[in-house]
């Protein structure tokens, strides 16, 4: 139940960001207001998720994946050709130190270091792939374990490729606007609008290509949105409705409940878009808000698999305290960013090559200097890199559970069914044959129910 509540909270924080991203791109390309676009996106996605269910989600994911990759590759190829090749892109990036050697600092407040990327990244992606209901639902829709392993391999390769494409497109944008920064000139209102602006400048001479890019952005968003809505409806039905209903639900009632959940969540997320647009960049905002629940949830799953002697009371208390702590850190940090109290150092930008008129940014006043200096007075935990959030939440939850174990007592390892424990720990537990047989017989009846609930 606790995990289901955490999953629900996480999705309510994540889905507004998913809706906001394509609206931001569409606004930059067409000028249509964000709050006109978001209801349209939400209605379309809610409609096909309600009508088609998991099958519609899977098939639209396939089409949307090809559309997304096609859009990014198109932008990379056309932009590189306009500049004279990918060599020019890397030359400009290296000359202005946009490409740097890895930062080896162990300081957790440094935004990006090799340690935050490797260690923090492993925690984040393990949680995403091994704990999140959004991914588990996809695994369970596959016919076999082998198919699941193949799917994960394809997913990993796809994520690596899309990150490489996004990174290269970022360097391409800088090389294009090296002498005229659109953020300084206010041609783009936010960092997340730089790519749509670049597409508009690069592909506008070819009718339809800018639209293809926007289709790719919408594809990525709709894919995530439909998957989360479908997962939310299943979780609410299995964990919040069925346990409290005395009679079995009819197929008609189940359909209405799941569709109502999809519509209700869609409306709630639509309202929360107004909050999202006041916060930081999309990547940092997503990872920060997700970590509020993802870190503690990952910690609880880790306890269950690797630390079977910890009782449920200890794990639950650790999870609750973990959520409270991560909420405090993440929301306070986001507030500091939104209010301007915490800013991140940026590399030097230029407007000397601009061929259009713009209002020059105001000079640095005493008030601005004071605001920048006030960032040094922010509580150190608020300055922690967002890449560490999931790791911090998981470790905090596990540590609290371990500290509470002497108070709440211990489980006996042999009382836990072997299939629920990692082989690394299972091999070190002495199971008695008779009790082991009893456990197997006792648990066999429950395993299918657990699988059905996960669906």
Q: Which domains does the chain have, with CATH numbers?
A: 1-96+132-277 (1.20.1730.10)
Decide if 72 contacts 166 (C-beta within 8 A).
Answer: yes
Letter string b/e over residues 262-277, b meaning 16 or more CB atoms within 10 A of that residue's CB: bbebbeebbebbeebb
Long-range contacts of residues 184-192, Cβ cutoff 8 Å, at least 24 apart: 184/349, 184/351, 184/358, 184/361, 185/351, 185/354, 185/356, 185/358, 186/358, 186/359, 187/358, 188/28, 190/24, 190/281, 191/281, 192/21, 192/24, 192/281, 192/282
> Which of the residue ranges 25-39, 43-57, 194-208, 293-307 would you say has the lowest mean pLDDT?
43-57
pLDDT at 435 over 60: no
What pLDDT, on a 0 to 100 scale, did the predictor assign at position 286? 63
Contact residues for 88 (Cβ-Cβ < 8 A; gap 6+): 80, 175
For residues 230 and 78, the model is more confident at 78
Q: Which pLDDT tens digit goes with each residue over 60-69?
A: 677 777 877 8
Decide if 293 contacts 10 (C-beta within 8 A).
Answer: yes
d(CA 260, CA 252): 12
> Which of the residue ranges 12-21, 143-152, 367-376 would you say has the lowest mean pLDDT?
367-376
d(CA 149, CA 212): 32
What pLDDT, on a 0 to 100 scale, did the predictor assign at position 28? 66
Q: What is the mean pLDDT of residues 232-239?
A: 80
Q: What is the mean pLDDT of residues 25-32?
A: 72
For residues 440 and 40, the model is more confident at 40
Contact residues for 298 (Cβ-Cβ < 8 A; gap 6+): 123, 126, 127, 131, 390, 393, 394, 397
Tokens of 228: 């989360």
Q: What is the mean pLDDT of residues 94-114?
A: 85
Q: What is the mean pLDDT of residues 209-216?
A: 73
pLDDT at 403 over 80: yes
Q: What is the mean pLDDT of residues 82-89?
A: 87
Beta strands (DSSP E) in 111-155 are none
Average pLDDT score, the chain: 77
Q: What is the mean pLDDT of residues 428-442?
A: 52
Decide if 173 contacts 194 (C-beta within 8 A).
Answer: yes
pLDDT at 26 over 60: yes
Confidence of residue 442 (pLDDT cuts 50, 70, 90): very low
DSSP single-letter state for residue 310: B
Contact residues for 138 (Cβ-Cβ < 8 A; gap 6+): 58, 151, 227
**Nearest one of 445, 435, 441 to 412, comparing CA atoms:** 435
Letter string b/e over residues 218-232, b meaning 16 or more CB atoms within 10 A of that residue's CB: bbbbbbbbbbbbbbb
Decide if 301 contacts 319 (C-beta within 8 A).
Answer: no
DSSP single-letter state for residue 359: P
Give the global pTM.
Answer: 0.72
Confidence of residue 7 (pLDDT cuts 50, 70, 90): confident
* Residue listed under structure tokens 């198919």: 147
Confidence of residue 394 (pLDDT cuts 50, 70, 90): very high
Q: What is the mean pLDDT of residues 436-442?
A: 45
pLDDT at 401 over 90: yes
d(CA 80, CA 103): 28
Q: Which pLDDT tens digit goes with each residue over 162-212?
A: 889 988 988 998 888 888 888 888 777 777 778 878 887 887 777 777 777
């Amino acid at each position: 139940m606790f995990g289901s509540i955490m999953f629900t909270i996480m999705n309510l924080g994540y889905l507004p960001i998913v809706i906001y991203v394509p609206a931001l791109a569409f606004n930059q390309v067409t000028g249509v207001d964000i709050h006109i676009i978001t209801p349209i996106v939400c209605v379309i996605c809610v409609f096909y998720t309600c009508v088609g269910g998991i099958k519609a989600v899977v098939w639209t994911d396939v089409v949307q994946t090809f559309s997304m990759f096609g859009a990014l590759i198109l932008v990379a190829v056309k932009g590189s050709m306009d500049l004279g090749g990918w060599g020019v892109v890397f030359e400009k990036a290296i000359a202005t130190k946009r490409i740097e050697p890895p930062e080896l600092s162990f300081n957790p407040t440094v935004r990006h270091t090799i340690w935050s990327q490797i260690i923090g990244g492993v925690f984040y992606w393990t949680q995403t792939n091994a704990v999140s209901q959004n991914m588990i639902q996809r695994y369970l829709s596959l016919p076999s374990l082998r198919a699941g392993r193949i799917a994960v391999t394809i997913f990993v390769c796809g994520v690596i490729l899309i990150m490489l494409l996004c990174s290269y497109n970022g360097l391409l944008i800088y090389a294009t606007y090296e002498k005229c920064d659109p953020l300084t000139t206010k041609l783009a209102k936010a960092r997340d609008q730089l790519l749509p602006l670049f597409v508009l400048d690069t592909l506008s001479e070819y009718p339809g290509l800018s639209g293809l890019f926007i289709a790719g952005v919408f594809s990525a968003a709709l894919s995530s949105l439909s998957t989360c809505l479908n997962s939310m409806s299943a979780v609410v039905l299995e964990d919040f409705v069925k346990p409290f209903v005395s009679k079995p639900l009819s197929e008609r009632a189940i359909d209405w409940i799941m569709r109502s959940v999809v519509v209700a969540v869609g409306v709630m997320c639509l309202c929360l878009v107004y909050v999202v647009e006041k916060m930081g960049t999309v990547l940092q905002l997503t990872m920060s808000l997700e970590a509020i629940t993802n870190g503690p949830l990952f910690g609880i799953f880790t306890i269950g698999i690797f630390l079977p002697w910890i009782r449920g009371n200890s794990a639950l208390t650790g999870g609750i305290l973990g959520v409270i702590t991560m909420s405090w850190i993440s929301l306070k940090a986001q507030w500091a960013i939104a209010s301007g109290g915490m800013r991140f150092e940026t590399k030097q930008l230029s407007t000397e090559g601009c061929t259009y008129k713009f209002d020059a940014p105001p000079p640095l006043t005493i008030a601005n200097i004071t605001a920048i200096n006030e960032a040094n007075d922010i509580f150190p935990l608020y300055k922690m890199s967002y890449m560490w959030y999931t790791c911090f939440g998981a470790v905090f939850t596990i540590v609290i559970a371990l500290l509470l174990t002497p108070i709440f007592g211990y489980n006996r390892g042999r009382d836990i069914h072997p299939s629920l424990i990692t082989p690394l720990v299972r091999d070190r537990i002495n199971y008695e044959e008779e009790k082991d047989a009893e456990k197997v017989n006792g648990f066999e009846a429950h395993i299918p129910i657990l699988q059905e609930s996960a669906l």
